[in-house]
Chains A and B, each alone.
Chain A
């Protein structure tokens, strides 16, 4: 074993043992000390040095001494001043260590030399140069060379002159050369302080110079030390990689070595053992390479954590070929943090490297002969390789039956069961369903599962979705799975072909349609050569087919009949649009030759809202030119950044217009200020980020800080300086790990000037803690909760923008989060749709206080679910807002017990709806009941899916309105904005009534939907409790008026139109020619503009009579630019949770102003009158509260509402 290779192992093996005599001595004194410490109780008891047990031990030890190796140390004495690292040869060396076995003088001399070298004893070594033995001399010379002390040169030169051998091999000459070149890194100097910020390189620091077409240094991100043996490779170029040397230097000398034959942009990957790899697309840097230039890219790799895993079966035998996946519980998407591995013949494998984190990780183990197994662990110390032993069970086999809605066995489909702890992107193994509908899941461990159905949709593609949840193995008989669609025998298909006039075709085409009858999207994917497509498993009817792809214009073909087989669709190939332009110096006009640039999308002109990636691309061009491929037709901006200039956004670029753009870079202005804590003490190393640099690249995220691009740190005095900012109004975010972040808006930046005095006080923020319970009320460990900020959150999974905190519950099911701002926080449970219990809540934290937010607990809302008069078991129920099933304020899911019983735990007092997951249709949640709750437990009794029906008869002129253009829905009476209720069945023959099923008792309005999102409301109709059906009618025969004209706007927005009695709603949208048209309008008085602003909101007013065709050119520019004051108010109690049953209003110059609408969980006020107002709130059980507010108007299409949100905290009476 070579000690130099396994230093750590060797040091670990160093082990001293005490002698028994020492043990006796120490224990006796320690016992005495203990007695004295514990005191008088022991007084009187004889002190015993040796109890019978220690006597035996001592005897054993005496015997053992003979067998044990005696320990003692002889170390080289150091000088007495206690300063290590400074060698003082005054004390010199001790006597040569007598080797008991060796009588060899040479060995003794060599040892002596070694000690001298270790002691830095130059004079001693020089003396050894005059020894007889050549070996000794040479050894001495080598040591002197390594010490590098120039005093030795003279003595070495004498020896060099006497060298008998080949002059080229003269060790003394070599030694002199080495000393003279002074490059020896083993010089004995005081080592540089590792605590200093300089990279801890060897004392003779390596100076980097570019090599070849691409080079750089790879360093440890924490210590700055070079990393040797890191592999840098070019993504996509197979085997084009290079390894870094001892200085951390890597280089590719030619374009060929990178796999290129001409200049191109490439992405680089970096991996090194013990470090977190850079291999995710988002993290890989993009570099522009060309033969004539030398690109430089340095890497800083973070030390990563590793874990050794041993997988055994229940008998303890190792299991080979187990697939192991490592994911982070804090990541919503469950992406792997490192490549997956398989256990070897001994059941062992090593996972890594993962970025250390304080939140837990999950190891998922899979093997076809065992039930999958999950194991949570913490990985927060890269220096420690964790060890985990996993026991995999065979589990039990679970049989079940799967049928289509019409009772036909679901032969040919596949079933899988996903455990509720699953947190990775891998899919479970599936089992097939046979001709009798029978399937068997072979290895199921006890637990809660989400049952998935997999349906093949074409060659080697399939779709899958969850149909139900179940505790397995079930003791209530075989598992029954209802596939929410009809059997293939009763289903039809649409087939056809696509053509590309012009010859060029995109790489892929997606054909998709949405079926309202089964609530699913049906997709077909066409590859490069496929022309024909078939969408099957459709119920007969009419469908809108959407054709899309990344290299083509999206096309929608409406009202395609199913079945049909002769559809021919012409599609237009279009290259991805390009943004082109130049970057110049604003002062001199000359091109900026080196810069980075990125694109952001402001709006989509046509087609799907594809996301434009927020990624920098490096450009080097003598004309300062850039060219960007973007995702689709839209309005974009390009931001250019170069050293010494402000990061500047270009003017808007419309991809339909072929106008290259010029970006003028100026030095910009700067902002400086001081960051302190709430005591006034400076906060150092706080990150200050400017929105102009770190804002998002999609329109919804333009005002959200999505990164820390371009941020600066405050110095020891808390002072920061942000330079090169674009003149205008800037927003900054100040963040520090120990505090809650703060956002400061409306800071004026002036060109070539410094805006001073931007002083910010950070507070610790508020804390929130609580426990998470499952649907039965048991605490749940390992549950991930995401805290999302209102401003940066739109409910999408995997969303990082607006992420305030992530918590994972501990072994007791509890969590604690700190540093939260006093803003509305949406707290969402990961994997919310396949979890049970409370999955969504909101809270407003309070600075300096800890609030409690539980997911579960009290009160309990219970009841029983019946279906067709019988208890309904294993049904999924949800408690949510009565108007919307996607409430973010409170949502709770549960499964009914075998007797139909259910419970929802922990809902704050308020108004709720209980929804029922319809197993026969995907994503269908009919409302069963509405209830008001208090802090006390509530029993709602027996509830059942609504069986009521509303039958709507439509009257209209078939020559005027095509039945294909009509849709009918049912709204709750008085609701202008929906949502719709019940399931609508379109009649087969035009003229037959529409039947809407699944309607609970209540009062409703039938609504006719026409093109252009027009809705015409009928008369209200009431379905009494106990009644099965009620009839209503909608007469469209008088809808014969129309309006049309030019719609002049400079945005893509549409204008709302409504009739004065609120029975008609429509939108004015301009087409490609800039005009709008609305047909089939009933007579009446109409308004257009902002519905909530009352009189002030009406930009347009006109009358229509039957048969009129009104031409009206609308100039909406000033309307869209006008100023409106918005105030969002959230009313919370002392616990930070929104108060239900509260009334708010504003009192101002024009009198009392009611909220324009509810925003759940708050209220939104809108007015065109700025000024001072008083906000009043009255809530049951709380003190009346009033506060002054100043309302400022802003242009309507700017800024999120969130920063005009007022939090009102009520106190209990």
Chain B
């Protein structure tokens, strides 16, 4: 993407506006991905922080091979995986009731979303990490299967397989959750 490259060039010269621009563009998506993977908003913010600080530090030797989005998402995923590998490092989430929101929703929709988003989040949590990564990176992170494949070290068709399998599983879990 030409915009990415221009921003990176400016960044390499130390242009803080460029860094801010990148941060504003990607922060929410990165946070959503981190939180969906970790099931923990607080830890997700930590991950976001680490990703950007590390990004800014390494800008001198940065060579973008893919899109900036893909690069930053990979960074998030690596940090999330690190956290899972360290035993006992998970922290309990905040005591707040969740509410995923969309700016365009009215109050009714927000209430519905609340209920729905909670169920979704719970369903997502039941997926194995690799499947969760595929779903979240694709739908919340805006990554293409090809890029996810590179991240996970598998072919795009295997990514597709994981994705379909995961959607099916989510559907099954949610169908069950509705039968009350």
Residues of A in contact with B (beta carbons under 8 Å apart): 1-4, 7-8, 10-18, 22-23, 25-27, 29-31, 33-38, 41-42, 54, 68-78, 80-82, 84-85, 94, 97-100, 110, 114-115, 117-118, 139, 142-143, 146, 185-186, 191, 194-195, 200, 220, 222-225, 303, 381-384
Given A33-B53, A222-B160, check contact A11 B90 (CB 8 Å): no
In Å, the complex CA distance between A30 and B101 comes to: 27
Nearest-Cβ distance from residue B72 to partner chain A, whole angstroms: 12
Nearest-Cβ distance from residue A620 to partner chain B, whole angstroms: 36
Nearest-Cβ distance from residue A385 to partner chain B, whole angstroms: 13
In Å, the complex CA distance between A33 and B56 comes to: 6
Chain B, range 6-51, C-beta contacts under 8 Å to A: 11-14, 16, 19-20, 23, 27-28, 31-32, 35-36, 39-41, 44-45, 48-49
Asked whether, in the complex, the Cβ of A70 is within 8 Å of the Cβ of B56, the reply is no
In Å, the complex CA distance between A25 and B169 comes to: 38
**Cross-chain contact of B55 among A8, A30, A191 (Cβ < 8 A):** A30
Minimal Cβ-Cβ distance residue in A for B177: A114
Asked whether, in the complex, the Cβ of A36 is within 8 Å of the Cβ of B23, the reply is no
Asked whether, in the complex, the Cβ of B93 is within 8 Å of the Cβ of A74, the reply is yes
Asked whether, in the complex, the Cβ of B127 is within 8 Å of the Cβ of A14, the reply is no
Asked whether, in the complex, the Cβ of B88 is within 8 Å of the Cβ of A80, the reply is yes
Asked whether, in the complex, the Cβ of A78 is within 8 Å of the Cβ of B90, the reply is yes
In Å, the complex CA distance between A8 and B120 comes to: 10
Minimal Cβ-Cβ distance residue in B for A3: B116
List B contacts of A384 (CB < 8 A): 144
Asked whether, in the complex, the Cβ of B93 is within 8 Å of the Cβ of A75, the reply is yes
In Å, the complex CA distance between A576 and B99 comes to: 73
Chain B, range 107-126, C-beta contacts under 8 Å to A: 110, 112-113, 116-126
B68 within 8 A of A: no
Asked whether, in the complex, the Cβ of B100 is within 8 Å of the Cβ of A7, the reply is no
**Cross-chain contact of A71 among B41, B127, B171 (Cβ < 8 A):** B41
Chain B interface, >50% SS class: helix
Nearest-Cβ distance from residue A463 to partner chain B, whole angstroms: 47
Minimal Cβ-Cβ distance residue in A for B96: A72
Nearest-Cβ distance from residue B24 to partner chain A, whole angstroms: 8
In Å, the complex CA distance between A119 and B165 comes to: 20
Minimal Cβ-Cβ distance residue in A for B49: A26
The contact sample of 24 A-B pairs, CB cut-off 8 A, is A3-B174, A11-B140, A14-B36, A14-B100, A14-B117, A14-B120, A14-B121, A15-B28, A16-B28, A16-B35, A22-B49, A23-B27, A29-B52, A69-B110, A71-B98, A71-B101, A73-B41, A73-B121, A114-B180, A186-B173, A191-B165, A223-B157, A223-B161, A381-B144
In Å, the complex CA distance between A801 and B96 comes to: 66
Asked whether, in the complex, the Cβ of B41 is within 8 Å of the Cβ of A18, the reply is no
Asked whether, in the complex, the Cβ of B157 is within 8 Å of the Cβ of A186, the reply is no
Asked whether, in the complex, the Cβ of A72 is within 8 Å of the Cβ of B41, the reply is yes
Nearest-Cβ distance from residue B6 to partner chain A, whole angstroms: 17
Given A26-B52, A118-B126, A223-B161, check contact A82 B180 (CB 8 Å): no
Asked whether, in the complex, the Cβ of B55 is within 8 Å of the Cβ of A4, the reply is no
Asked whether, in the complex, the Cβ of A37 is within 8 Å of the Cβ of B59, the reply is yes
Nearest-Cβ distance from residue B159 to partner chain A, whole angstroms: 9
Asked whether, in the complex, the Cβ of A225 is within 8 Å of the Cβ of B116, the reply is no
List B contacts of A26 (CB < 8 A): 23, 27, 48-49, 52-53
Minimal Cβ-Cβ distance residue in B for A26: B49
- In order of increasing CB-CB distance, the 6 nearest A-B pairs are A75-B39, A72-B96, A38-B14, A223-B161, A33-B56, A69-B101
Asked whether, in the complex, the Cβ of A194 is within 8 Å of the Cβ of B162, the reply is yes
B151 within 8 A of A: no
**Cross-chain contact of B56 among A7, A10, A31, A41 (Cβ < 8 A):** A31
Asked whether, in the complex, the Cβ of A69 is within 8 Å of the Cβ of B14, the reply is no
Asked whether, in the complex, the Cβ of B120 is within 8 Å of the Cβ of A10, the reply is yes
Asked whether, in the complex, the Cβ of A74 is within 8 Å of the Cβ of B94, the reply is yes
Asked whether, in the complex, the Cβ of A36 is within 8 Å of the Cβ of B179, the reply is no
List B contacts of A23 (CB < 8 A): 23, 27
List B contacts of A27 (CB < 8 A): 19-20, 23, 52
List B contacts of A42 (CB < 8 A): 14
Interchain Cβ contacts within 8 Å, total number = 246
Asked whether, in the complex, the Cβ of A73 is within 8 Å of the Cβ of B40, the reply is yes
Asked whether, in the complex, the Cβ of A13 is within 8 Å of the Cβ of B128, the reply is no
Chain B, range 141-170, C-beta contacts under 8 Å to A: 144-146, 154, 156-158, 160-165, 167-170
In Å, the complex CA distance between A1157 and B148 comes to: 58
In Å, the complex CA distance between A383 and B146 comes to: 10
Interface residues on B, range: 35 or more
Asked whether, in the complex, the Cβ of A4 is within 8 Å of the Cβ of B175, the reply is yes
**Cross-chain contact of A17 among B28, B93, B145, B177 (Cβ < 8 A):** B28
10 new A-B contacts at CB < 8 Å, known A74-B94, A74-B97, A200-B161: A8-B139, A13-B113, A30-B52, A69-B110, A72-B96, A74-B93, A74-B96, A99-B97, A194-B165, A383-B163
**Cross-chain contact of A84 among B97, B117, B128, B162 (Cβ < 8 A):** B128
In Å, the complex CA distance between A69 and B100 comes to: 8
Asked whether, in the complex, the Cβ of B161 is within 8 Å of the Cβ of A73, the reply is no
Minimal Cβ-Cβ distance residue in B for A17: B28
Asked whether, in the complex, the Cβ of B39 is within 8 Å of the Cβ of A73, the reply is yes
Most B CB atoms within 10 A — which of A17, A114, A142, A383? A383
In Å, the complex CA distance between A328 and B168 comes to: 32
Asked whether, in the complex, the Cβ of B128 is within 8 Å of the Cβ of A82, the reply is no
B92 within 8 A of A: yes
In Å, the complex CA distance between A38 and B19 comes to: 13
List A contacts of B168 (CB < 8 A): 225
Nearest-Cβ distance from residue A30 to partner chain B, whole angstroms: 4
Minimal Cβ-Cβ distance residue in A for B34: A16
In Å, the complex CA distance between A185 and B120 comes to: 20
Most B CB atoms within 10 A — which of A41, A73, A98, A115? A73
List A contacts of B145 (CB < 8 A): 381, 383
B135 within 8 A of A: yes
Nearest-Cβ distance from residue A556 to partner chain B, whole angstroms: 56
List B contacts of A117 (CB < 8 A): 176-177
Nearest-Cβ distance from residue A60 to partner chain B, whole angstroms: 13
Given A34-B11, A71-B100, A225-B164, check contact A18 B36 (CB 8 Å): no
Given A13-B100, A23-B23, A200-B161, check contact A37 B53 (CB 8 Å): no
Nearest-Cβ distance from residue A812 to partner chain B, whole angstroms: 15
Nearest-Cβ distance from residue B62 to partner chain A, whole angstroms: 10
Nearest-Cβ distance from residue A369 to partner chain B, whole angstroms: 37
Asked whether, in the complex, the Cβ of A73 is within 8 Å of the Cβ of B20, the reply is no
In Å, the complex CA distance between A81 and B85 comes to: 8
**Cross-chain contact of A75 among B40, B52, B140 (Cβ < 8 A):** B40
Nearest-Cβ distance from residue A495 to partner chain B, whole angstroms: 62
Nearest-Cβ distance from residue A108 to partner chain B, whole angstroms: 13
Nearest-Cβ distance from residue B153 to partner chain A, whole angstroms: 11
In Å, the complex CA distance between A36 and B45 comes to: 23
Asked whether, in the complex, the Cβ of B87 is within 8 Å of the Cβ of A18, the reply is no
List B contacts of A30 (CB < 8 A): 19, 23, 52-53, 55-56
List B contacts of A85 (CB < 8 A): 126-128
Nearest-Cβ distance from residue B11 to partner chain A, whole angstroms: 7
Nearest-Cβ distance from residue B34 to partner chain A, whole angstroms: 9
B95 within 8 A of A: yes
Asked whether, in the complex, the Cβ of A16 is within 8 Å of the Cβ of B23, the reply is no
In Å, the complex CA distance between A110 and B177 comes to: 10
Most B CB atoms within 10 A — which of A12, A22, A34, A110? A34
Asked whether, in the complex, the Cβ of B125 is within 8 Å of the Cβ of A41, the reply is no
Asked whether, in the complex, the Cβ of B49 is within 8 Å of the Cβ of A78, the reply is no
Asked whether, in the complex, the Cβ of A77 is within 8 Å of the Cβ of B92, the reply is yes
Nearest-Cβ distance from residue A920 to partner chain B, whole angstroms: 53
In Å, the complex CA distance between A7 and B172 comes to: 11
In Å, the complex CA distance between A100 and B165 comes to: 35
Asked whether, in the complex, the Cβ of B90 is within 8 Å of the Cβ of A225, the reply is no
In Å, the complex CA distance between A3 and B100 comes to: 14
Asked whether, in the complex, the Cβ of B14 is within 8 Å of the Cβ of A35, the reply is yes
B1 within 8 A of A: no
In Å, the complex CA distance between A26 and B170 comes to: 34
In Å, the complex CA distance between A431 and B135 comes to: 54
Asked whether, in the complex, the Cβ of A12 is within 8 Å of the Cβ of B140, the reply is yes
Nearest-Cβ distance from residue A1041 to partner chain B, whole angstroms: 73
**Cross-chain contact of A74 among B98, B128, B162, B179 (Cβ < 8 A):** B98
